[in-house]
């Protein structure tokens, strides 16, 4: 079992996400994270799926995803084949702000992106390990809410989606 | 401009006509009524068969598609009409049958409001369709149907569903039909890689005991001639899957029998003795492979397959040739050396004789008083036409009919393979017959399965489709009972049936019928049935507790196939 990133390049078709997730559900495989967005090319979407599985399973998943009529291409990478980033937001009560917290924000390169009379929202981008580390620390500062995105990722190999989109 | 505008419902019907649909199997209801209204105007250009249940409609469309090689078309209303199609969709998907199913849907403004007969059929049918779409405006209708036909029949065929809201059917628009010839996300044509062919040919030429397994891909790819040419030149023994039967005439010298759980003895055992296994258009279903950990481990496996997702899915192959087998087989025939494999073929014949002595003799020339299913099918062979279509349901009779029916032509095998849908046979036989009234369509069905869709007697009555129905009645859900006998200590839990007088039911529908239980009546009854001009129902009372052998029990290896 390893962590893999599956990229799906697809037409923007109603229900496509459903068709993709069914493939995981049917095999009893949990999706660790999923993000979808429009790609560089108008009308074409890219979906990034993070999954923990054996390579054999991932190959089966990718083959089945690619079989979906509106999917243009699907491929998978191990973690070292992709550059990826996640974003995390932390809501902290203003009452807990002190010098210690300022130091933590600096050390982790986090940003304050919103300040309200009762709370501030910190933002940190990075790998899960980094955002998780900050989460553990901020639990000591009365953390009110926490949200983390799925990974957005770009493959390292020099290959663009244009060749599939003709 | 205004007079060029037509109703969405007319767009539906005219698009179907443009796509060369000759016949629709369907059932009307509220949300599809505009389309039915349009059909009234086009009845001279497109036929419609009113079944007695939507499941009957879709199985009929499947039977039609399997025999004709065309796309089967099915029409149903929203809600329960649509949900009644689901079994047929799942069946068609797993057996790669091209269908276009059109369902009515509540008006667009009512979607998501739990309106009367509203159901999310697009969501429900997603796992059992090759593609589906909801159409909410009149402009989208023709492009969606054109695309649906293209998807259903191209590549690996499959069922497609189009859900059309009622407003789209009643609104007016231009008739904007353009045939679909392809689109960027869907590659239908795979160029055969020449080096793949070369490598396959080298592996085959180096083999001492090569062995071909063929499936429905040969039929779907219309590659019967290419397949035969390949076997003629290479001299390799070939065995069929359930759905592959008919792709090769059974009197071909390379033909060695049938594969799988209730296939023949030799083809199963020798799977584990060949040195190169060539799989053509088949998908290594678990009913074929038995225990995959002990499946053909000694062999180098070559897989000729159109669907990339089938390569290495259950059985890891050493080499694959991706693409249409019509193309790959003709290239491979050129590339391989002409050979014969007499000694190797003789091994198949030797084991075949063992099966003859241990099983076939019992089935065909029984000593017991009660008739066997096997002797019925054997007698059917004596009288049937060469191109007779065999339509079967699911269970013991299906396996026996498959084992003993003499397949001589392609597209003569219609059965529910992958899904194992009881109730399939009667409507599928009707659909197969609707393609061609002059062709013999023989429906073999059990007393369990027939009662799942027996209402389609009504459709047979109304269409006068001359289907020949043979009910093999053992008053049991026979296959389940066999398993209970073998694996559940004969605890016959809910498998015995108190049956009605089937002949009376058939007669109530005006279908000529006969019931026999004596061996001495068998030949004449079958002859009478087959020469009868019109539908015919023959009930044959068979031995109550007969079993189907050979058998590979669940979890066993192909070489552990049992003769008793």
* Eight-state DSSP code of residue B402: H
The domain in which residue B147 lies consists of 2-174
Chain A residues within an 8 Å CB radius of B151: 69
pLDDT for the residue A163 = 75
Chain A residues within an 8 Å CB radius of B186: 69-70
A59/B308 CB distance under 8 A = no
Q: Are residues B57 and B86 in the same domain?
A: yes
Chain B residues within an 8 Å CB radius of A11: 185
Nearest CB among B134, B184, B186 relative to A165 is that of: B184
Q: Are residues B24 and B56 in the same domain?
A: yes
- Within a domain: B48: yes
* Eight-state DSSP code of residue B183: B
Q: Where are the domains of chain A?
A: 2-82+155-164, 84-152
Contacts with A1 (C-beta within 8 Å, 6 or more apart), sequence order: A52, A53, A54
CATH number where B340 lies: 3.40.50.1220
B134/A14 CB distance under 8 A = yes
Q: Last residue of some domain: B145, B174, B203?
A: B174
Q: Are residues B376 and B334 in the same domain?
A: no
Chain A residues within an 8 Å CB radius of B184: 72, 164-166
Q: Domain A84-152: which topology?
A: Alpha-Beta Plaits (3.30.70)
pLDDT for the residue B69 = 97
b/e for B189-206, b at 16 or more Cβ within 10 A?
ebebeeebbebbbebbee
Q: Are residues B523 and B435 in the same domain?
A: yes
ipTM: 0.93
Q: Going residue by residue through chain B (564 aa), what tens digit of pLDDT does each one get?
A: 455 899 999 999 999 999 999 999 999 999 999 999 999 999 999 999 999 999 999 999 999 999 999 999 999 999 999 999 999 999 999 999 999 999 999 999 999 999 999 999 999 999 999 999 999 999 999 999 999 999 999 999 999 999 999 999 999 999 999 999 999 999 888 899 999 999 999 999 999 999 999 999 999 999 999 999 999 999 999 999 999 999 999 999 999 999 999 999 999 999 999 999 999 999 999 999 999 999 999 999 999 999 999 999 999 999 999 999 999 999 999 999 999 999 999 999 999 999 999 999 999 998 888 999 999 999 999 999 999 999 999 999 999 999 999 999 999 999 999 999 999 999 999 999 999 999 999 999 999 999 999 999 999 999 999 999 999 999 999 999 999 999 999 999 999 999 999 999 999 999 999 999 999 999 999 999 999 999 999 999 999 999 999 999 999 999 999 999
- Within a domain: B379: yes
Nearest CB among B126, B127, B308 relative to A63 is that of: B308
What SS3 class is residue B86?
Answer: helix
Q: Are residues B121 and B204 in the same domain?
A: no
Q: Are residues B201 and B337 in the same domain?
A: yes
B122/A15 CB distance under 8 A = yes
Residue A115: Cβ-neighbour burial (10 angstroms; 0-12, 13-18, 19+): exposed
Residue-wise pLDDT for A46-102, tens only, equals: 999 999 999 999 999 999 999 999 999 999 999 999 999 999 999 999 988 888 888
Chain B residues within an 8 Å CB radius of A15: 122-123, 126, 132
Q: Domain A2-82+155-164: which topology?
A: Alpha-Beta Plaits (3.30.70)
- Mutation target to probe the A interface, by most A beta carbons within 10 A, among B89, B159, B185 is B185
A60/B127 CB distance under 8 A = no
CA distances from B135 to A11, B71, B138, B150, B544 (A): 17, 20, 8, 17, 51
Using the predicted structure, report yes or no on whether residue A160 has a pLDDT greater than 80.
no
| Catalytic residue positions of B, numbered | 54, 116-117, 166, 479
A69/B186 CB distance under 8 A = yes
Chain B residues within an 8 Å CB radius of A57: none
pLDDT for the residue A100 = 87
Q: How would you classify residue B433: left for phi > 0, otherwise alpha for psi between -120 and 50, otherwise beta?
A: alpha
Q: Are residues B144 and B9 in the same domain?
A: yes
- CB–CB of B403/B258 below 8 Å? yes
Q: At what angle do helices B224-234 and B325-335 cross, to 10 degrees?
A: 20
| CA B299/CA B284 separation, integer angstroms | 15
- Mutation target to probe the B interface, by most B beta carbons within 10 A, among A16, A61, A67 is A67
What SS3 class is residue B452?
Answer: helix
Please report the residues numbered 169 through 188 in chain B whose beta carbons come closer than 8 angstroms to any beta carbon of chain A. Answer: 184-186
pLDDT for the residue A166 = 65
pLDDT for the residue B366 = 87
Q: Are residues B385 and B300 in the same domain?
A: no
Query: Hey, is the C-beta of B520 within 8 angstroms of any chain A C-beta?
Result: no
Query: Hey, is the C-beta of A39 within 8 angstroms of any chain B C-beta?
Result: no
pLDDT for the residue B1 = 44
Domain count, chain B: 3
Chain B: give the shortest CA distance to residue A151, in Å.
Answer: 25
Query: Hey, is the C-beta of A67 within 8 angstroms of any chain B C-beta?
Result: yes
Chain B residues within an 8 Å CB radius of A60: 309, 313
Query: Hey, is the C-beta of A60 within 8 angstroms of any chain B C-beta?
Result: yes
Nearest CB among A11, A19, A164 relative to B126 is that of: A19
Q: Are residues B235 and B160 in the same domain?
A: no
Domains A2-82+155-164 and A84-152 share a fold: yes
Q: Are residues B201 and B331 in the same domain?
A: yes
C-alpha neighbours within 13 Å on the C-beta side of residue B543: 21
Query: Hey, is the C-beta of B127 within 8 angstroms of any chain A C-beta?
Result: yes
- Within a domain: B47: yes
| CA B245/CA B307 separation, integer angstroms | 20
Query: Hey, is the C-beta of A72 within 8 angstroms of any chain B C-beta?
Result: yes
- Pairing verdict, β B255-258 and B276-280: unpaired
- CB–CB of B62/B196 below 8 Å? no
Backbone angles phi, psi at B164, to 5 degrees: -115, 120
Q: The whole model's pTM is what? A: 0.96
pLDDT for the residue B329 = 98
- Torsion on CA atoms B217, B218, B222, B227, rounded to nearest 10: 160
Chain A: give the shortest CA distance to residue B81, in Å.
Answer: 22
- Within a domain: B498: yes
- Within a domain: B548: no
Q: Please give the residue of chain B at the shortest CA–CA distance from A11.
A: B185
CATH number where B483 lies: 3.40.50.970
pLDDT for the residue B368 = 84
Query: Hey, is the C-beta of B112 within 8 angstroms of any chain A C-beta?
Result: no
Q: Are residues B272 and B383 in the same domain?
A: no
A69/B312 CB distance under 8 A = no
- Within a domain: B486: yes
Q: Please give the residue of chain A at the shortest CA–CA distance from B185.
A: A72
Chain A: give the shortest CA distance to residue B323, in Å.
Answer: 14
Chain A residues within an 8 Å CB radius of B312: 59
Residue-wise pLDDT for B281-321, tens only, equals: 999 999 999 999 999 999 999 999 999 999 999 999 999 99
B308/A67 CB distance under 8 A = yes
Nearest CB among A10, A63, A72 relative to B309 is that of: A63
- CB–CB of B246/B407 below 8 Å? yes
Chain A residues within an 8 Å CB radius of B132: 15
Q: Are residues B163 and B198 in the same domain?
A: no
- Within a domain: B503: yes
pLDDT for the residue B3 = 59
B127/A26 CB distance under 8 A = yes
Chain A: give the shortest CA distance to residue B69, in Å.
Answer: 21
- Within a domain: B362: no
């Amino acid at each position: 079992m390893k962590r893999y990133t599956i990229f799906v390049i697809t037409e923007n078709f109603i229900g496509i996400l459903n068709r993709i997730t069914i493939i995981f559900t049917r095999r009893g495989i949990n999706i660790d994270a999923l993000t979808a967005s429009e790609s560089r090319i108008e009308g074409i979407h890219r979906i990034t799926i993070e999954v923990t599985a054996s390579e054999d399973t991932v190959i089966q998943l990718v083959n089945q995803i690619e079989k979906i009529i509106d999917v243009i291409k699907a491929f998978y990478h191990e973690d070292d084949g992709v550059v990826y980033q996640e974003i995390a937001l932390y809501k902290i009560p203003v009452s807990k702000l002190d010098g210690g917290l300022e130091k933590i924000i600096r050390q982790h390169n986090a940003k304050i992106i919103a300040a309200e009379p009762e709370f501030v929202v910190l933002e940190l981008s990075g790998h899960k390990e980094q955002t998780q580390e900050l989460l553990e620390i901020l639990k000591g500062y009365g953390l009110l809410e926490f949200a983390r995105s799925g990974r957005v990722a770009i493959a390292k190999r020099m290959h663009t989606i244009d060749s599939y989109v003709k | 401009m205004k007079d060029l505008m037509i109703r969405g419902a007319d767009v539906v019907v005219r698009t179907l006509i443009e796509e060369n649909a000759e016949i629709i199997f369907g059932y009307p209801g509220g949300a599809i009524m505009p389309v039915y209204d349009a059909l009234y105007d086009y009845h001279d250009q497109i036929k419609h068969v009113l079944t007695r249940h939507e499941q009957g409609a879709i199985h009929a469309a499947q039977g039609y598609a399997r025999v004709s090689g065309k796309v089967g078309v099915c029409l149903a209303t929203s809600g329960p009409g649509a949900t009644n199609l689901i079994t047929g969709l799942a069946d068609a998907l797993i057996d790669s049958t091209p269908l276009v199913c059109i369902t009515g849907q509540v008006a667009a403004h009512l979607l998501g409001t739990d309106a009367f007969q509203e159901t999310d059929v697009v969501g429900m049918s997603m796992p059992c369709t090759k593609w589906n779409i909801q159409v909410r405006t009149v402009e989208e209708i023709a492009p969606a149907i054109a695309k649906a036909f293209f998807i259903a029949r191209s590549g690996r065929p499959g069922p497609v569903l189009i859900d059309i809201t009622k407003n789209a059917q009643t609104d007016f628009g231009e008739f904007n039909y353009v045939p679909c010839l392809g689109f960027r996300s869907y590659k239908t044509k795979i160029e055969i890689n020449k080096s793949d062919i070369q490598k396959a040919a080298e592996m085959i030429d180096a083999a001492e005991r090569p062995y071909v397994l063929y499936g429905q891909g040969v039929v779907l790819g219309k590659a019967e001639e290419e397949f035969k040419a390949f076997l003629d030149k290479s001299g390799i023994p070939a065995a069929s899957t359930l759905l592959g039967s008919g792709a090769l005439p059974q009197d071909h010298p390379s033909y060695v029998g049938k594969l799988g759980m209730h296939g023949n003895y030799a083809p199963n055992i020798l799977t584990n003795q060949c040195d190169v296994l060539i799989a053509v258009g088949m998908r290594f279903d678990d009913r074929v492979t038995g225990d995959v950990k002990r499946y053909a481990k000694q062999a180098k496996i070559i897989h000729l397959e159109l669907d990339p997702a089938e390569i290495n899915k259950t059985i890891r192959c050493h080499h694959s040739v991706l693409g249409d087998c019509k193309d790959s087989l003709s290239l491979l025939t050129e590339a391989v050396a002409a050979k014969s494999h007499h000694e190797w073929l003789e091994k198949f014949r030797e084991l075949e004789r063992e099966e003859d002595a241990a099983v076939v003799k019992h089935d065909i020339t029984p000593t017991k008083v009660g008739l066997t299913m096997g002797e019925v099918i054997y007698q059917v062979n004596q009288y049937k036409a060469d191109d007779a279509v065999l339509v079967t349901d699911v269970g013991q009779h299906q396996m026996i009919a498959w084992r003993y029916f003499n397949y001589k032509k392609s597209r003569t095998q219609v059965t529910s393979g992958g899904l194992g849908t009881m109730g399939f046979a009667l409507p599928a036989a009707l659909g197969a017959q609707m393609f061609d009234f002059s062709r013999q369509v023989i429906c073999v069905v059990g007393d369990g399965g027939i009662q799942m869709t027996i209402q389609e007697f009504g459709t047979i009555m109304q269409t006068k489709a001359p289907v020949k129905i043979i009910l093999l009645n053992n008053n049991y859900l026979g296959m389940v009972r066999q398993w209970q006998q073998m694996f559940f200590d004969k605890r016959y839990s809910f498998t015995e049936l108190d049956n009605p007088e089937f002949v009376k039911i058939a007669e109530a529908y005006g279908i000529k019928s006969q019931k026999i239980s004596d061996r001495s009546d068998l030949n004449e009854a079958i002859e009478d049935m087959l020469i009868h001009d019109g539908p015919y129902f023959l009930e044959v009372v068979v031995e109550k507790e007969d079993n189907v052998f050979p058998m590979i029990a669940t979890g066993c290896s192909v070489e552990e196939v049992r003769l008793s």
